[in-house]
Structure 1
Amino acid sequence: MTFEQLDERFKPLHKPTAKLDHLYEGCRWAEGPAYFPAHRALVWSDIPNNRILRFDEATNEVGVFRHPSGYTNGHTVDPQGRLVSAEHGARRVTRTEHDGTITVLADSYDGKRLNSPNDVVVRSDGSIYFSDPSYGIEGYYEGFAAEPEQAGQYLFRLDPITGTLSIAADDMQRPNGLAFSTDERVLYVSDTGNKTMRAYDVADDGTLTNSREFAKCTVGGFDGFRLDERGHIWSSAGDGVHVLHPDGTLIGKVKVPEGVANVAWGGYKRNRLYICATTSLYAILLPVRGAKTM
């Protein structure tokens, strides 16, 4: 069974007959999917293999987009259609320009190197938020072992006008995946340190307030996630994709045979959910579309 319905509110969000497509296998740790509508293509990270892969939706072919990749983890697409990436290896956040050149957006805070940027999201005003846990410097599997220079594991915000980097939140053990609500008034962030997801109110100037626990993962832990256009959160978990109602209730699951790390919406209708799960890339068609603020 592909779906598990736990609440009647999950019924309009899935089709019981929909098939989980297994698109690719051969990764060591698949993460960070990002979709480009104009190219009908998805890129994602294979972190330990130090590469970014690319899935062509028109041909179903997979190729290497970039190798070495700096042990990239999370990716997103900014309002101008450029790839923004969190790199474990170089401990930085970068942007791939339309001509293929790479611009470094952030690699230090207060004169000290970042830990290992993990996941990233761009608000419609151009501000960039990214998580900076220490996973990439704790060994050589997903980066390079090193002593942390930061005093903690923070959520950062990069101002789009001044370029100033500031700590947006410092109350999580290991901040990880993040996504905005459909109106960008709430920022959700997974904390893999205690297997929870937190929510923050977002002010007009980008500051975060009213930190609270939004949900707790029941199998494994929350990692990366995205919202649909109705405000539901489709999050990675140990047994597949957990679907959370906007009130935080777990209402259903997409069952996946591997632990899931992250998801992204794609397809020409924006209703195909791509799923990065340990060694593989999966996808499933749904009756609901992904939110535009992804």
Structure 2
Amino acid sequence: MTNARILLDGLKLVESPRWHEGRLWFCNWGAGEVIAVTPEGDHEVVPLAADPHTIGWLPDGRLLVVPKDPKPDGKLLRLEPDGTLVAHADLSALPGGCNELVVDGRGNAYVNGAGFDFLEFIKRPDPRPLTERPGYRPGFIALIRPDGTVERQEHDLAFPNGMAVTPDNGTLIVSESFTGTLTAFDISGDGTLGNRRVFADGIGPDGICLDADGAVWTSSGGNEAVRVAEGGRILDRVELDRAPFAVMLGGDDGRTLFICAARWDPQDPFGGGTGRILAAPAPAPHVGWP
């Protein structure tokens, strides 16, 4: 069991943490912000002419931004060195809004989406399993190559969420939050996905990251972050007083686990001011992407 310290508090719904150039960057949903914070807690709001939903960096250092509501024009945006946001890819042909983004070491980006309006869906109480409720649709992953071309990967996913790519660019792992599963795919030389299989199940995964021992940090589905080995064995736990929505390993040696946590209210998902960033020591350093 590991204890976590509070790094930042009083935020909205915090998501999409990324370690980049000595700071943790994350999206503060509900405030329309990207915030960058040091391990000591010094932080700033990063100016972006967009309401960011998730972020990731290309190998050349340019930032990709999925806007909170990419419809109707459906653009994945790219931040140029001069500070301007330009269109990186056209996502309008995808079946719904995009939830998560990960960029691998070759410059391929993967985005996923639920295929339905999650916030409206989750507001309606229903005793049935999530995948059997009215309005549910299987989700998707799409490959965006460095030239901006988009290719939907035909894999039905039960509310795809956080994604990570192994350091050899050979495997993509995605959270299927509605079935409590971490699902793995082989990545071929052209970036397409195949050989779908279960990495771990019996948890409640959301945002994820990988460590050098091959384990995944994610949410247990309750108020704790867990470190999961392939096959599903829980290796470590960090208990919290609210739900972890995403995690990221960083720090100078990659052994600090940063946790985006908040109290979830489906009737007011972006309000409340319960969001916080926490930090805890981790036994193995970060590898792969994000």
Same fold (TM > 0.5) = yes
1:97 corresponds to which residue? 80
CA distance in 2, matches of 1:208, 1:292: 17
Correspondence 1:245 to 2:229: yes
In 2, distance between residues paired with 1:128 and 1:153? 17
CA contact under 8 A between 1:109 and 1:165: conserved in structure 2? no
Instruction: Give the counterpart letter for 2:164 in structure 1.
Output: A
Contact 1:108 1:114 in 2 (8 A): no
Q: Give the aligned CA root-mean-square deviation in angstroms.
A: 2.4
Q: Which runs of 4+ in 1 moved over 4 A?
A: 134-139
**Is the Cα contact below 8 Å between 1:50 and 1:67 reproduced in 2?**
no
Cα–Cα, structure 1 residues 240 and 137, in superposed 2: closer, same or farther, change >3 Å? closer
AA matched with 2:139: Q
Deviation at 1:228, TM superposition (A): 0.6
Who is 2:128 aligned against? none
- Residue 189 of structure 1 corresponds to 174
Partner of 1:133: 114
Structure 1: distance between partners of 2:48 and 2:10: 15
Partner deviation per Cα, 1:226-279 (whole Å, 9 max, x = no partner):
001221111133222111113432222122221011111221112111111111
User: Which residue of structure 1 aligns with residue 35 of structure 2?
Assistant: 53
User: Which residue of 1 is the match for residue 127 of structure 2?
Assistant: none
User: What's the counterpart of residue 81 of structure 1?
Assistant: 61
The reply on whether 1:259 has 2:239 as its aligned counterpart is: no
Displacement after TM superposition at 1:32 (Å)? 0.6
Cα shift at 1:283: 0.9
Question: Conserved in 1, the CA contact under 8 Å of 2:115 and 2:138?
Answer: no
SS of residue paired to 1:260: strand
Evaluate the alpha carbon distance shift between residue 106 and residue 137 of structure 1 in structure 2; reply closer, same or farther with a 3 A threshold: farther
Q: Distance in 2 between matches of 1:223 and 1:69?
A: 24
CA shift for structure 1 position 105: 2.1
Distance in 1 separating the partners of 2:62 and 2:205: 26
Aligned match for 1:28, one of 12, 25, 32: 12
Q: Deviations over 1:162-202 (max 9, x none)?
A: x2211124311311111112322211111122222211111
Q: Deviations over 1:206-239 (max 9, x none)?
A: 1111112222243xx2111000122111113322
User: Partner of 1:269 in structure 2?
Assistant: 253
Gaps of 5+ in 2: 121-136, 263-274
2:179 partner SS: coil
Give secondary structure in 1 for the equivalent of 2:107.
coil
Structure 1 residue 135: Cα displacement: 6.7
- Report % sequence identity: 25
1:173 corresponds to: 158
Unaligned runs of 5+ in 1: 4-15, 140-150
* Structure 2 CA distance for aligned equivalents of residues 137 and 190 of structure 1: 15
The 2-side partners of 1:229 and 1:131 are apart by: 25
Report the CA distance between 1:292 and its aligned residue.
4.1
User: Are positions 1:65 and 2:46 aligned together?
Assistant: yes
Aligned length: 259
Structure 1 residues 194 and 286: alpha-carbon distance in aligned structure 2, compared to 1, 3 A threshold: closer
**TM-score with structure 1 setting the length:** 0.79
1:47 maps to amino acid:
W
Task: Supply the distance in 1 between the matched residues of 2:87 and 2:225 (Cα, whole angstroms).
Answer: 32
- The answer on whether the counterparts of 2:199 and 2:230 sit within 8 Å (CA) in structure 1 is no
1:104/1:81 CA distance change after superposition, 3 Å: same
Contact 2:8 2:41 in 1 (8 A): no
- Which moved further from structure 2: 271-280 or 90-99? 90-99
